[in-house]
Structure 1
Amino acid sequence: MKNEIIIILILLSSYTCLSQKNITWEDLAQVEFTEKFFPSYGENFLHPEFSDAVKSLEGKEITIRGYFLNIDPQGKLLILSKGPMSSCFFCGIGGPETAIELQFISKKTFKTDTIIIVTGILKLNADDVEHFNYILTECKAELIN
């Protein structure tokens, strides 16, 4: 009986270690921004300094809920936003920490402002201004009813 309990505890802890981590937008808000000059563009951009808590999420599978935004007519740039299109980062109501670039395993699309839950591998991006500060790769999405 004692051995069975130990095996069950090991299996449960292994499952917890391997499963995705549910995060919130408040988790991603733990970042400070300063202006940094990028010579190749001749302009200043907001440069993130991620907190240790955010850095600990890099490379891990995470799950987060938000609003789907498709702001690219060709559908190449897909975004998960903390708020709907009318109050998203591009409208000046949030910072870069309120949007995540989505890179799906297979092409996905939803109507703009559809609430979805996305699971993917978190990549932190501080220096490539062509991409968002937060990028989810290998994404899978689930529609919220």
Structure 2
Amino acid sequence: MDKLSKPIIWTAVILLLMTTDFSSTCRHGLKGANAFHYNTGFVQSGWGNPATGNGQSQNTAGEISWKQLADVTYVLKYNKQFDGDIMYPVFGAAVKKLAGKEWIIEGYMIPLDIKSGLYAVSRNPYAACFFCGAAGVESVVSLKFKTKPRRYKTDEYCVMKGVLMLNDDNVNDFIYLFKSTEEVKK
């Protein structure tokens, strides 16, 4: 091989790897027989689903699915703080009925500010979450913990319980918030 062939081959290999979609090999969140797969919608954890009435609940809170949280549209409105138009959420009737009640949700932990205990739970792992542009804002829930939380790792799969609040006016926070959040041990 001459001196020029090696760099050309390595460049071609690197370009091939950079342009290949490996997402079909990704299996985040699959946990045995009761696997939760983030493309399926409803969580399958064995606690029962309030939408279908299936199963026996081990907690006072029912489960909420990411599919249920997708019941939102957006409207463009002027925002004085940013001096421009911003998309504001318009919650559907089904998701409005969920507000103010305690729910359980499963997802991937996204640390926002570890020192202050600011976290979000996401439908998708970090590499495919809202922050990376691969999902919508409805796929993330801001967590307001009851007490100082333990330190979570990025993409740690967790089960969280909290009171669902809808945010349709504060553009500096997520549209979904869990107040009085605590981790649920499986």
Please indicate, yes or no, whether the TM-score normalized by the shorter chain is above 0.5. yes
Secondary structure of 1:107 counterpart? coil
Cα 1:111–1:38 shift into 2, 3 Å: same
% identity of equivalent residues:
34
Q: Which has the larger radius of gyration?
A: 2
What residue number does 2:65 align with? 24
- Structure (1 or 2) with the greater strand fraction: 1
- In structure 2, relative to structure 1, the CA distance for the partners of 1:73 and 1:60 (3 Å cut) is closer
Question: Which residue does 2:165 correspond to in 1?
Answer: 123
Query: How far apart, CA to CA, are the structure 2 residues paired with 1:64 and 1:83?
Result: 13
Measured on the aligned residues, the alpha-carbon RMSD in Å equals 2.0
Alignment match, 2:77 = 36
SS of 1:53's partner is: helix
Corresponding residue pairs, total: 129
Cα contact 1:121–1:138 (8 A) shared by 2: yes
- Residue deviations 1:24-83, cap 9 Å, x none? 100000111122221122132221110111000110001110000003364443100000
Output one character per residue of 1:82-138: Cα deviation in whole Å (capped at 9) or x when no partner: 001101101001111000000011111311100001100000000011211000000
Q: How does 1:7-18 map to 2 (within 5 A)?
A: none
SS in 2 for 1:93: coil
For structure 1, list consecutive stretches of 5 or more residues without a partner in the other structure: 1-15
- Structure 2 residue 131 is matched with structure 1 residue 90: yes
**1:98 alignment partner AA:** S
TM-score by length of 1: 0.81
User: In the alignment, residue 106 of structure 1 is paired with which amino acid?
Assistant: T
Q: Which shifted more, 50-59 or 33-42? A: 33-42
- Segments of structure 2 that go 5 or more residues without pairing to the other structure are 1-56
2:96 to 34, 46, 55: 55
For CA contacts below 8 A with separation 6 or more, give which structure has more relative contact order.
1
